[in-house]
Structures are given as structure tokens and as C-alpha cells.
A and B are shown apart, each in its own frame.
Chain A
């Protein structure tokens, strides 16, 4: 599987990433780091602890990272959740959160396959 095919499977926009970041290696270098990013875990922790503000911040960061890597599907669901959390008074809506979890899992799983095949 090439990186483009990988992006296809996770409904990302590889062309957009390349247009913005200008180098294939750069995209690969950072997208392979994505599983190490803590924002999804921070969102889960904040949800479990019931801290609205932290939940918003984590979602906001996740959205930013996903956008930067052109992980469009994940960026969209994170964006929708971030809007729901923006005023800092609500906990994540379970349906929106599940959507983010689903998109996130797809990205992580697909990247794992990509790395495995590459090795």
C-alpha cells in the first residue's frame, strides 16, 4: 500500500497535504508520528474525568493536527465535536464522540498496516 492509497482508505486528502506541505517525505514523517499524538487520549481522559474545558482543548488540538495532516474525515468529525464543546459548559455528545473514535481508529489501524507492509 502506498501512502496515497493509505490516505484514500482513511478518507484523507493527500493532494491537499502535498499542495500545502510541498514534500512527500514531510507528510510521511509527520503522519507516521500521528499515533503518538496525545490529544485523542486527552479527550478520553477529560471525558472520563468530566472536565469540560479540557475536553474542548483536546478536541480542538486533535482537529488542528488532523487538518494539518489532511486527515479530512477525522478533522470533520473532530471539528463538529469541537463546536459542540466550544463554550466549555458541556460534556461531549456521545454520538459525536463515537464518530470521532471511529474515524480515529480507522486512521490508526490503517497506518499500522501501512507501517507493517513497509517493513
Chain B
């Protein structure tokens, strides 16, 4: 430790004699701040945060005891970096464990021993200073503004200290412009973030603060300005490099919500305009709030949805385009929640995918469909294959193949009755492994349908390598059938796929005209409202009978 600077230690102990002794032991080597309870200590800590190198904390105190003090400090990104040494009289294991869980660094026991006390403090300060210095935690090196931790600490402080003042929180996310460097490498980020941070500094007034939230994001908290002009969208640095930014803004922030959550709200706002060209500002408004709540409700309810049998499996028929004969169906998941009502797949599928829960929901549909196939077979209904969607996340699971095949085997389905549908995006990664998995499935009587064919760019490359049976053309493809030039592209595609011996299904056929075009192109099967909408199990059963 650099001995030329006298460090400051905060001593929090209610008993005057004990505190006096402790201070007398320390006074030669340290500057001392004294507090007679946790509350006074916390105030001193906040005021002199930058100065304090360590804290000695008694546990049994009136007004605010040591545990309560630890609790109020542990979640603060800056205060929690200052080591706290707890003074105990009986050092029971339970007591020590509780303190450590609350962030205490070390213990000293009463009665005080000068040598022990001084050594403990000295080594804990040394340790902390060797790991980091407070200034490194506080200011971002590149931009000179607060780091994220420091911003959160100071913003929390401002919101607590000014309960009646209105504040807005803003996050700016830099968007790479056309002439900027190709990707976000360190040099490019530096060039972009610097002028942006400069702008932030210029914008800041009294009790407003700014910080670097992440690589390409800046965050500010400032007093609400009614009808104030929004920040500039285009920034230019010295070299004339143009940087654009997208802003997420939370207006009139609630003072009782953690700053981290407010930042999440601002990010949610940015997220909502992420892929919208020409949109630069988004406010965290009621609509977004509702969306977020809905999203959270989905996340909280999904785990129980299987047990409570809220998922329903619908079946959309596939027909032979030439003969009109029923040749198969696709299983589709639906969620009917007792309170939330019918939840759209467009809402819940992305949440399932993000959380990985999709592996469970996909498997549920698979099991359910296997059972239905068996029952329908036993009823003597016509036997057609049904395809079940297997998302990228499900497919990536190492146990997927064995899990699905085991279920199929246990339930005992008729031969040729199960297909899976995967999308091109499932092939991101090691192609050999994918191929191995697909082969394993095919060897066990599961045909592979490649969904959304033509929506990505990888499949032409891999098409020859993939052991698949059916290619499905997506709606976007079908909808362009009216354009003669695109028809040529599709015709070439159809030939290519047929040459590889795959069948072709076109999804989303709605009109007689589309059917005609598909027929002329030689497409094998069609699926869509022209034939039938997705049907619940009972209705599909009747459909099979007819």
C-alpha cells in the first residue's frame, strides 16, 4: 500500500468506549470517521464514499443495526466495492455466514487486539486497491463519463435525494452508418462513442448525469424538460465520421423503481424500433409497458401450461395439388389460457424460443401427435403423415433425437405417420452433426421436411448435402407467384428440388389462381386456407373421416 497517503476508515459502533478504543488504535495510521449507529454511518458513507477505504461495523446497534447496514449497501454498485469488516463479540458460525452473505469482507472479534485490527484493515485495503481503484470503477476510460456501475449509483442517489423532481432517463444506442467501419471493432467503437459522449457532456446540466451503459450505448438521467427538443440523431466526430443513434426514453421516471429496471425499460423502447429504418426515438409508453407485462406473463405461465393442459394441438391439412386428395397435415400449437385467453403464437413463440422452453412445447406437440396418430389408426381412419415443428433450439439439444424417438416408440405409432419440420436456421453450426441427427431420424421412420425454404440463403449450398424428404416453400414465395420473372425463379427451384428427389409443399395457398400456378409449376402438395384452416383435434378427426 502507498503509505504516503493516509487512508480513511469509517468506524460504526454504538458504544462510546468501544468506539473510542478502536479509534485510538487506528488513529496513528488512518483518518477516522465515526458513527454511533448504522444510519449515521450510511449517511457518512454516502457523503464520503470516494474517501473511504474500509469500514469497521458493529452488529448490535440501536436505530440501524449492522445487518441492516449491510443490506442497504450490498446492492449498490459503488458502495459494495468498499470492504466492510464486521466486529463480532461471539463469532458464531451463523452470524458470520449471514454477514458474509450480505457482503462483509472479514471479521474482527472483541476484545480488540491492536496488531490484529491493524493487519486486518491493512491487508483488506491492499487487496481492494490491487484489484481496482475507485476511479477506474467510476469513470470510463474511453469517454471520460461515468461507468455503468457509477451511473447507477449516482442516479439512484439523485432520485432518492429529489423525490419531488421529475426526471427522464435516456439510453442512446449508436447505429453503424454506411461509411463507418464494417463492424463494431474496438477502434470503430471508440471513434463512434467519443463524439456521442461529448454530446452527452454538453447536454448535462445541474443534477443530470451521463454514463457509458455498454460498448455502444450511453445513458443519461436528466430533469424533465417539457416540450424540450429531442437530442440530435446524427453526430459527427473530428474526422467527419457520421454516427447515428437510436434513443429509448423513459419519461418522468418513477422514483421507487431500481435504476437498472429503468434502463431495461429504455432498452425495451429501443428494441421496439431496432429494425425500423428512419425511426430514431421511442418512448417507453403504456403500449410497450403492456407488451412487456404480457411477455412476462407468458414467461411466468408457460411452465405450468403443459401440466394444466392449456396447449391445444391443431392440424392443418395438406393436399395433393393435382388430385386434391388429402396427403398429410402439419401440427400447430395453440395456447388457450383461462385468464389471458387465446394467446397468439406470434406472441408466445418468440418468448419460448428466447427462454429455451420451446424444446418442451415442441416435444409436447410431438407426444400428443404420436398419441393421436395411434388412436386414429386404431379407429380405422385413413393414415396420413403429420409433421411436427422442431425449432432451432429444440434441434440443437443433444438429447433431442433419442428423446423424440423414444416417445414415438413407447407410444407405438403406425409406420410412416410422423414427420418433423425444421427450418434452414437450424443448420447454423456444424453441418455434419445436423446431417447425422437427420439420418438417425430417417433411419427410424421419421421423414424430414425443410420449412420456409427460400427464406434464407444457406439452403442452396447445403441442399445437396441434407438428408431431407420434403421442401416447403414459404408464403412470401407463394405470394409472388403473380410475377412472371419470379415464376421463372420458382420454376427453376422446383426443378432443382425435384431433381434431388424431394417432394414440394407450398404453404399459404388461398386462391384458385395460386393453385393453378402451383399446378403448372409441378408443385406436389398445397397447404393453406384454400383447403382448410388449422383444425382442432376433434374437427380434424371428422376431416379424416370425410
Q: Say whether A and B bind each other.
A: yes
Cβ of B111 and Cβ of A70 under 8 Å apart?
Answer: yes
Closest partner residue, chain B, to A33 (CB atom): B17
Cβ of A22 and Cβ of B21 under 8 Å apart?
Answer: no
Q: Which of B350-406 contact A (CB under 8 A)?
A: none
Q: Residue among A19, A30, A68 with the most chain B CB within 10 A?
A: A68
| A27 shortest CB reach to chain B, Å | 9
Closest partner residue, chain A, to B92 (CB atom): A86
> A114 in the interface, Cβ–Cβ < 8 Å?
no
Cβ of A67 and Cβ of B111 under 8 Å apart?
Answer: yes
Q: How many Å lie between the Cα of A103 and that of B407 in the bound state? A: 79
Of the listed stretches A2-10, A57-65, A89-97, A104-112, name the one at the interface; the rest are far from the partner chain.
A57-65
Q: How many Å lie between the Cα of A34 and that of B18 in the bound state? A: 10
> B25 in the interface, Cβ–Cβ < 8 Å?
yes
> B301 in the interface, Cβ–Cβ < 8 Å?
no
User: When A61-B60, A69-B17 are in contact, do A22 and B89 touch as well, CB less than 8 Å?
Assistant: no
> B293 in the interface, Cβ–Cβ < 8 Å?
no
User: When A61-B60, A65-B15 are in contact, do A20 and B111 touch as well, CB less than 8 Å?
Assistant: yes
Within 8 Å CB of A26, what residues of B?
A: 21, 24-25
User: When A20-B112, A21-B114, A26-B24 are in contact, do A63 and B89 touch as well, CB less than 8 Å?
Assistant: yes
B114's contact among A20, A30, A36, by CB below 8 Å, is which? A20
Number of interface residues of B (CB under 8 A): 18
| A37 shortest CB reach to chain B, Å | 5
Closest partner residue, chain A, to B61 (CB atom): A57
Cβ of A39 and Cβ of B15 under 8 Å apart?
Answer: yes
Cβ of B89 and Cβ of A64 under 8 Å apart?
Answer: yes
| B368 shortest CB reach to chain A, Å | 56
Q: How many Å lie between the Cα of A116 and that of B111 in the bound state? A: 28
| A80 shortest CB reach to chain B, Å | 13
Within 8 Å CB of A20, what residues of B?
A: 111-114
| A57 shortest CB reach to chain B, Å | 6
Within 8 Å CB of B110, what residues of A?
A: 64, 67-68
Q: Interface code B50-90, partner A: CB below 8 Å = 1, 0 otherwise?
A: 00000000001010000000000000000000000000010
B21's contact among A36, A39, A63, A68, by CB below 8 Å, is which? A68
| B236 shortest CB reach to chain A, Å | 65
| B512 shortest CB reach to chain A, Å | 84
Within 8 Å CB of A61, what residues of B?
A: 14-15, 18, 60
| B288 shortest CB reach to chain A, Å | 49
Cβ of A57 and Cβ of B18 under 8 Å apart?
Answer: no
Q: Interface code B277-312, partner A: CB below 8 Å = 1, 0 otherwise?
A: 000000000000000000000000000000000000
Main secondary structure of the interface of A (DSSP, over half): helix
Closest partner residue, chain B, to A68 (CB atom): B111
User: When A26-B24, A39-B15, A65-B15 are in contact, do A60 and B60 touch as well, CB less than 8 Å?
Assistant: yes
Within 8 Å CB of B113, what residues of A?
A: 19-20
Cβ of A30 and Cβ of B21 under 8 Å apart?
Answer: yes
User: When A57-B60, A60-B89, A61-B60 are in contact, do A21 and B20 touch as well, CB less than 8 Å?
Assistant: no
Number of interface residues of A (CB under 8 A): 22
Cβ of A68 and Cβ of B114 under 8 Å apart?
Answer: no
User: When A60-B89, A70-B111 are in contact, do A65 and B18 touch as well, CB less than 8 Å?
Assistant: yes
Cβ of A64 and Cβ of B18 under 8 Å apart?
Answer: yes
> B256 in the interface, Cβ–Cβ < 8 Å?
no
Within 8 Å CB of B16, what residues of A?
A: 33, 36-37
Within 8 Å CB of A67, what residues of B?
A: 89, 110-111
Q: How many Å lie between the Cα of A29 and that of B20 in the bound state? A: 10
Q: How many Å lie between the Cα of A30 and that of B25 in the bound state? A: 12
Cβ of A21 and Cβ of B15 under 8 Å apart?
Answer: no
Q: How many Å lie between the Cα of A67 and that of B109 in the bound state? A: 10
Q: Which of B105-125 contact A (CB under 8 A)?
A: 110-115
Closest partner residue, chain A, to B114 (CB atom): A22
Within 8 Å CB of A36, what residues of B?
A: 16
Q: How many Å lie between the Cα of A70 and that of B113 in the bound state? A: 11
Cβ of B17 and Cβ of A37 under 8 Å apart?
Answer: yes
Within 8 Å CB of B17, what residues of A?
A: 30, 33-34, 37, 65, 68-69
Within 8 Å CB of A37, what residues of B?
A: 15-17
| B445 shortest CB reach to chain A, Å | 68
Within 8 Å CB of B89, what residues of A?
A: 60, 63-64, 67
Within 8 Å CB of B25, what residues of A?
A: 21, 26
Within 8 Å CB of A34, what residues of B?
A: 17
Q: How many Å lie between the Cα of A69 and that of B60 in the bound state? A: 19
Q: How many Å lie between the Cα of A69 and that of B21 in the bound state? A: 9
Q: Residue among A20, A30, A63 with the most chain B CB within 10 A?
A: A20
| B24 shortest CB reach to chain A, Å | 5
Q: How many Å lie between the Cα of A64 and that of B60 in the bound state? A: 11
Within 8 Å CB of B112, what residues of A?
A: 20-21, 68
| B95 shortest CB reach to chain A, Å | 11
Q: Residue among A34, A57, A64, A69 with the most chain B CB within 10 A?
A: A64
| B276 shortest CB reach to chain A, Å | 61
Closest partner residue, chain A, to B109 (CB atom): A67
Q: Which of A8-59 contact B (CB under 8 A)?
A: 19-22, 26, 29-30, 33-34, 36-37, 39, 57
Q: Interface code B143-154, partner A: CB below 8 Å = 1, 0 otherwise?
A: 000000000000
Within 8 Å CB of A33, what residues of B?
A: 16-17, 20
Q: How many Å lie between the Cα of A36 and that of B16 in the bound state? A: 10
Q: Residue among B15, B24, B114 with the most chain A CB within 10 A?
A: B15
Interface pairs (6), CB distance under 8 Å: A26-B24, A34-B17, A64-B18, A65-B15, A68-B111, A69-B21
Chain A to chain B: the 5 pairs with minimum beta-carbon distance, closest first = A67-B111, A20-B113, A68-B111, A64-B110, A22-B114
Residues of A within 8 A of B (CB): 19-22, 26, 29-30, 33-34, 36-37, 39, 57, 60-61, 63-65, 67-70
Question: 8 other contacts beyond A26-B24, A30-B20, with CB at 8 A cut-off?
Answer: A19-B113, A30-B21, A60-B60, A61-B15, A67-B110, A67-B111, A68-B112, A70-B111
